[in-house]
Structure 1
Amino acid sequence: MVVGAIVLIVAIIGVVGAVVVAQQNKQARVGTSTAVPAAAGAMGEGFVANKDVTLVAGAPTLDVYEDFQCPACAQFEQVMGATIDDLASQGKVKLVYHLKTIIDANMGTTHSLTMANAALCAADAGKWQPFHDDVFANQPATEGQGWTDAQTKGFAEKAGISGSALDTWSTCVEERTYAKYVESTEDASGKAGITGTPTVLLGGEKVDFQQVSTPDALVQAVAAATK
């Protein structure tokens, strides 16, 4: 009985230790900040990229689920990105991004999470879209390779962040201000059944890119969804 009790105690200690280590690893990954981007509203909600744009009457919501490391997302942005930017800036859609970290989970990295946080830090400086677009335009050729700190800072500078705003951005990146928020959007989208990227919803309906395969087709789909 004594031996059995000792074995049980050791097993419990092992489980508790594993839980503690997991919690420590998670804290190192996402930090302690519970900040939510102003354009998101709450944990788990998407980020409204054009929240300051007046929408046209009946403009549909365009939900875009992306992972910064996802090669298919980069291809999608290359084809559709400029058109989506135009639709959003003209108020023809409410553009909502949901940042995912699928590649991190698949490859044991934190590059998607880190870059998503950096992009949201850029949003604080009013530079979400140019930062987002430049990251996808400069995605590493090798999936899972990620970006260096210098490259990430370069995206911020190219987006037009400088001076004290760049210092604020750097602090936001270092403190992983929005990492927990990013994790919450991954969790929320997974629970909603969004397990692949890119996934795009127009007016709540999944866009079939076999049918909507060109920028013109996307513009037409948006027009048809406008009420």
Structure 2
Amino acid sequence: MRSGHVAPPVHIPAGVTGTEGGIAVGAGPVVVDVYLDFLCPFCKQFELTAGPKLDELVRSRRIARLYHPMNILDEASTNRYSSRAASASGCAADQGRFVEYAYMLFVNQPPEGGPGLSDDELIGLGTSLGVEDQDFEDSVRRHVYVDWAAYVTAKAALRGVNATPTVFVQGKAVPANIQIITAAVDAATNA
């Protein structure tokens, strides 16, 4: 593999846009990239506190939010939970339920060091959201998007992302703080 090149994943979830592998939500003029790991407790804190404001900015068509689920904490579980959770989020994206499912992954986040949620539990989160499609269940069990999580992580590393959560507004890194993010969005809107 040559420097800076990452082989694309075999399977790509619905909603993925661009070359970085992020799932796009919204169509506002300002792009907010959020790099996260579903096992990361700081990501959980960020999503549960900043998520509602970011959702509001998406609804008001001020931003397009790109979610980049990474697998950097696979070694902090006994069964590659970060990869499996990211894969399951891609399966939810195929059902048009990525945002709600990602929220459920954080609300039900397991502690680091253990096995994480089982495939049955990941499917159950989808069921609790009304996703009862057999394709969803099958793709969660087959871990169909694990290669996508690895791709997102590799592309993030090339961008200099080495921790989660990491946030970019219009391509510029900003602290994962909703006040600073909102100020950066305002500045980009007024530029």
TM (norm. structure 2) is 0.85
How many residues align structurally?
A: 181
Once residues 219 and 160 of structure 1 are traced to their aligned partners in structure 2, the CA distance between those partners, rounded to angstroms, is 32
Structure 1 position 222 matched with structure 2 position 191:
no
Question: Contact (CA 8 Å) 1:73, 1:198: kept in 2 or not?
Answer: yes
State the AA in 1 paired with 2:99.
Answer: Q
Once residues 17 and 32 of structure 2 are traced to their aligned partners in structure 1, the CA distance between those partners, rounded to angstroms, is 17
Structure 1 position 194 matched with structure 2 position 161:
yes
Where does structure 1 differ by over 6 angstroms across 4 or more consecutive aligned residues? none
Question: Deviations 1:168-197 (Å, cap 9, x if unpaired)?
Answer: 101111222211111111111112210100
How far 1:38 sits from its partner (Å)?
3.1
Structure 1 position 138 matched with structure 2 position 108:
yes
Structure 1 position 168 matched with structure 2 position 135:
yes
1:61 to 22, 31, 34: 31
For the residue of structure 1 that corresponds to 2:16, the secondary structure is coil
Cα 1:135–1:107 shift into 2, 3 Å: closer
How far 1:44 sits from its partner (Å)?
4.3
Cα 1:196–1:217 shift into 2, 3 Å: closer
- Higher share in helix: 1
Question: Contact (CA 8 Å) 2:73, 2:82: kept in 1 or not?
Answer: yes
State the AA in 2 paired with 1:168.
Answer: D
Once residues 134 and 113 of structure 1 are traced to their aligned partners in structure 2, the CA distance between those partners, rounded to angstroms, is 16
Once residues 225 and 159 of structure 1 are traced to their aligned partners in structure 2, the CA distance between those partners, rounded to angstroms, is 35
What are the ranges of 5 or more consecutive residues in structure 1 without an aligned counterpart? 1-32
Once residues 20 and 173 of structure 2 are traced to their aligned partners in structure 1, the CA distance between those partners, rounded to angstroms, is 19
Question: Contact (CA 8 Å) 2:42, 2:164: kept in 1 or not?
Answer: yes
How far 1:41 sits from its partner (Å)?
4.3
How far 1:153 sits from its partner (Å)?
1.7
Cα 1:35–1:151 shift into 2, 3 Å: same
Once residues 151 and 49 of structure 1 are traced to their aligned partners in structure 2, the CA distance between those partners, rounded to angstroms, is 25
Moved more, 190-199 or 87-96: 87-96
Partner of 1:34: 10
Question: Deviations 1:111-149 (Å, cap 9, x if unpaired)?
Answer: 000011101101111111110011101112x21321123
Once residues 151 and 174 of structure 1 are traced to their aligned partners in structure 2, the CA distance between those partners, rounded to angstroms, is 11
CA RMSD of aligned residues (A): 2.0
Once residues 151 and 121 of structure 2 are traced to their aligned partners in structure 1, the CA distance between those partners, rounded to angstroms, is 26
Partner of 1:73: 43
Once residues 142 and 76 of structure 2 are traced to their aligned partners in structure 1, the CA distance between those partners, rounded to angstroms, is 25
Once residues 225 and 42 of structure 1 are traced to their aligned partners in structure 2, the CA distance between those partners, rounded to angstroms, is 20
How far 1:107 sits from its partner (Å)?
5.0
For the residue of structure 2 that corresponds to 1:102, the secondary structure is coil
Once residues 144 and 94 of structure 1 are traced to their aligned partners in structure 2, the CA distance between those partners, rounded to angstroms, is 34
